[in-house]
Amino acid sequence: MTSELHIPRRSPGARTDWSRLASRTRLHAEDLPASELEKLEPILREDVLSEYDARFLSAYLHGKGLPFTSRFRLAEERWREDEERHYHHTAEVYRELYGLDPELLADRRARFEPLEELFDDELSILVLLAYDELATVGAYQANLEAYGRLGPAYREWVRALVADEAWHYAMFLAVLRDAHGDRLDQAEESLERVIAYEGTPYGATFVLDHDDPVFTPGLLERTARLLRRHLRDGSGGGEGIFEGL
């Protein structure tokens, strides 16, 4: 075990005040044709729901009774706060533009049973979380042009989301190395197992929410390749990202 890992309190997106995001986005959207707004609706709805589901994953992890390290618990707490903030502002924008149907979330229940094998221990969970965050970075980036139609404020918000999800990736990678550095070969095996579960119908589990066509086989392959490389050669900002912040 190495020395205590330092994870700063605030991720990139938490350093900006987003209180005017929804009103600024609405102002811009007023000039958009209705058909354009309609096309963007499913993308935004999916984002709201995805970010919302973090609470189910967090509750599931807490309920598992696994002996998590203090590093893991800290990273999970930071991650959970960020995802809640992502949900809060994305939902605010959605409400401004489309009126959030409360029914949309009311009956949402998570089904973790089909993925249970991926939550064996802390190491497997970290691999799953790292892989998932990195895939999300790719998905938000792939849709940047679409988000940009909602104006500069929303574009800036999505860039902050990308930075936060990349931050989560680096944070989970850092805990993986810091607390489980002697088992990184097993991390690669865990990754192969995660990949084998791609295609499992999504059950509000936050992870593997990859039914959307933006998650192309190419994007998922690139995600796995990058994580594999970072596990093998120690790169990927897992440690360095926290320094000097």
State the minimum distance, in angstroms, from the CB of residue 63 to Fe ion.
20
Part in contact with Fe ion (CB under 5 A); list of ranges 64-72, 110-118, 162-170, 196-204: 162-170
Residue 230 as a binder of Fe ion (CB under 5 A): the answer is no
Collect contacts of 190-196 with beta carbons under 8 A, ≥24 apart: 190/118, 190/123, 190/124, 190/127, 190/128, 191/127, 191/131, 191/224, 191/227, 191/228, 191/231, 193/117, 193/118, 193/124, 194/118, 194/127, 194/128, 194/131, 195/131, 195/220, 195/224
Question: How many chain residues are in contact with Fe ion, going by CB under 5 A?
Answer: 6
Angstrom distances, CA of residue 155 to CA of 46, 67, 207: 17, 40, 24
Residue 78 as a binder of Fe ion (CB under 5 A): the answer is no
Give the per-residue contact string, 115-154, with Fe ion (x = CB under 5 A; - = no).
------------------x---------------------
State the minimum distance, in angstroms, from the CB of residue 30 to Fe ion.
27
Of 47, 165, 178, 209, the one binding Fe ion (CB under 5 A) is 165
Neighbours of 95 (CB within 10 A): 14
Part in contact with Fe ion (CB under 5 A); list of ranges 79-87, 98-106, 113-121, 200-208: 79-87
Residues 6+ away with beta carbon under 8 Å from 99: none
Neighbours of 101 (CB within 10 A): 11
State the minimum distance, in angstroms, from the CB of residue 99 to Fe ion.
23
Residue 168 as a binder of Fe ion (CB under 5 A): the answer is yes
State the minimum distance, in angstroms, from the CB of residue 207 to Fe ion.
10
Q: What is the contact surface with Fe ion in residues (CB under 5 A)?
A: 51, 83, 86, 133, 165, 168
